[in-house]
Amino acid sequence: MRDFWAGLPIWGQETLILIALLLPLALMAATLLRGLAPWPLALGMIRRFAWINAVFVALIAVSVGMGIGLIAQERGLRQGTADAASKFDLVVSAPGSEISMLLAAVYLRPADVPLIDGETFNAIADDDRVRLAAPIAFGDSFEGDPIVGTVAELVTHLSEGAIEGRVFATEEEAVVGALVDVPVGGEIEPAHGRGTAAEAGLHGGFHYEVVGRMAPTGSPWDRAILVPVEGVWAVHGLANGHPVEEADGHGDDADHDEDHGGDDEHGHDEAYEPSAGQRIGPPFEAALFPGTPAVIVVPEQLAQAYALQSAYTRDAETMAFLPGAVLSQLYAILGDIRQAMSLMSLVAQILVAASVLTGLVMLLRLFERHMALLRALGAPTRFLVALVWSYGAGLLVLGGVLGAALGWAVAGVLSDVVAARTGIAIPVSLGWAEIHLVAGFVTATACVALLAAWAVIHSTRASRVRM
């Protein structure tokens, strides 16, 4: 049996689980309704107290919807974060926290991290196993969107070549993400820092011209402004990685040092004057390389990523990690949280089931006189039980279906909130877990409805005896 189960496709296994969950409900319906037609009377009971029934259904829908919304949101968050990191095979940085560097390099969250020097970067870039080694530089922003200095090859890699316009070719050009509200041909004045700490006007009136826009990636890079890393360095008074003769005078160490020697007496950068024939992109001169917080590495072959990780994980020098592996650690933490939330949800569902039993009994008390009248007219006990059960089960099934729709809507709202705050596109869909939740809830509460039906019929019989 175990081999049979293991040989089934995923959809086959999930379908069998669904059938097992719904089988008790089907058996109850077949047993109770065989040869009977209580539905016209059950619908009349629903219409007779429509508002009370509507409130009962709404409470069930809210209970089911909250559980479904949490499950769907957690799965969507995993998928969205994994998709956002799918273009980042390997990240090399100075030793530190992998999670902090993952958030900074992949998800563009602000972080204060040490830098990799020019010799280390060149060793990575010159490795025969490396197809792309892209330095990144942070620090500036525009209207809350981060400005990221890098190389043109990374822009092409992230967008898979789908760019409106073209990739930047000079220090003063930029390519914007799909969600940045600046058109191609527009200008961007960088502010120093991000968020409430951003300060405008500190770069001597320097502007970037937008020459391209990337296609949507579903990641925080959709809100990023990608510029040549040389531009970020130079506008802060640093060397730009190239000798003077290659940059037409803009790589002079006397004018670009790490203490922002180009600042004027007010602490502002002097006006940046671009030169014709400036050069951007690798190779970089190690002595003129100001440093980078991380290097995005794309190996020649995916399998080589593990060898590169081992090669560049050195004590006190560099740290290399696979974003997918770090995400797995985060998912393990999320999994523990999910188990705790699932336990809380289970307790909540048990309380809801008890509430359903109480609510059904209270609702059915409204129909005791009708049940007594039907019994006086000769209706058999099985018909009365089938009628009461059909009424309760109908409300429960309707509440479960509406709960699934409500859960999907809740997950959509939560996803929009998360996407707005993180830039990560969170897909929303109802999966097998949500379908199983609804099926299990409806079947369990239908059993509760059967108990409520027997309780009401017994009460009606006792009342008749007393009379």
pLDDT of residue 112: 82
Chain segment 155-194, per-residue pLDDT in tens: 999 988 888 989 998 888 999 999 898 898 898 888 876 7
Angle between helices 98-105 and 323-365 (to 10 degrees): 90
Beta carbons of 212 and 161 less than 8 angstroms apart: no
3-state secondary structure of 82: helix
Beta carbons of 138 and 146 less than 8 angstroms apart: yes
Q: What is the mean pLDDT of the chain?
A: 80
Q: Determine if residue 281 is left, alpha or beta; phi over 0 gives left, psi from -120 to 50 gives alpha, anything else beta.
A: left
Other CB atoms within a 10 A radius of the CB of residue 48 amount to: 12
pLDDT of residue 280: 83
Burial 361-381 (b: 16+ CB within 10 A, else e): bebbeebeebbbebbeeeeee
The domain limits of the chain are: 10-83+330-466, 90-321
Tokens 């050009």 label which residue?
Answer: 173
pLDDT of residue 247: 44
pTM of the shown model: 0.74
**Which of 25, 45, 33, 22 has its CA nearest to residue 391?**
45
pLDDT of residue 338: 63
3-state secondary structure of 432: helix
Residue bearing the bigger pLDDT, 364 or 65: 65
Chain segment 231-287, per-residue pLDDT in tens: 888 888 888 888 765 444 444 444 444 443 334 433 444 444 544 446 788 888 888
pLDDT of residue 341: 62
d(C-alpha 79, C-alpha 425), whole Å: 9
**Which of 279, 269, 270, 291 has its CA nearest to residue 243?**
279
Largest CA distance in the chain: 111
Chain segment 312-332, per-residue pLDDT in tens: 887 678 899 999 888 888 877
DSSP letter at 224?
A: -
Residue type, 139: G
Beta carbons of 277 and 99 less than 8 angstroms apart: no
Mean pLDDT calculated for residue range 287-291: 88
Residue 110 has pLDDT above 60, yes or no: yes
Percentage of the chain with pLDDT > 70? 80
Residue bearing the bigger pLDDT, 228 or 447: 228
Residue type, 322: L
pLDDT of residue 265: 39
Residue 64 has pLDDT above 70, yes or no: yes
pLDDT of residue 240: 81
pLDDT of residue 266: 37
How many alpha carbons lie under 13 Å from residue 74 in its C-beta half-sphere?
21
Residue 335 has pLDDT above 70, yes or no: no
Radius of gyration of the chain (CA): 32
Residue bearing the bigger pLDDT, 126 or 459: 126
- Rounded alpha-carbon distances, angstroms, from residue 253 to 58, 142, 320, 335: 71, 28, 30, 51
